Amino acid sequence: MPEPCVLTPEQVTEHPDHLEPPEELKQQITDLAPWRAAGTAADPKELYNDALSHTPGWKIGG
């Protein structure tokens, strides 16, 4: 007997890759001061790409 499959879709906003925004926004992304104030020692580009611009999971309809 087949078991039902339950999906839990959620709407997620992805931000552009760190290379796509205008120059002013690129400078804000790579500025180390706000990242250090937040207690993050990671590379800002990697953190931005891993946590903000690329959402993990499967994407449907967009």
Domain count, the chain: 1
Region at 30 (left for phi over 0; alpha for psi -120 to 50; beta for the rest): alpha
Q: Which pLDDT value is given to residue 28? A: 81
In a domain, 38, yes or no: yes
pLDDT in tens, 27-37: 887 888 887 88
Average confidence (pLDDT) over 20-42: 80
In a domain, 37, yes or no: yes
Does the pLDDT of residue 62 top 70, yes or no? no
In a domain, 8, yes or no: no
- Is 48 exposed, middle or buried, given 0-12, 13-18 or 19+ CB atoms closer than 10 A? buried
Domain range enclosing 35:
23-53
Total-model pTM: 0.45
Q: Which pLDDT value is given to residue 54? A: 72
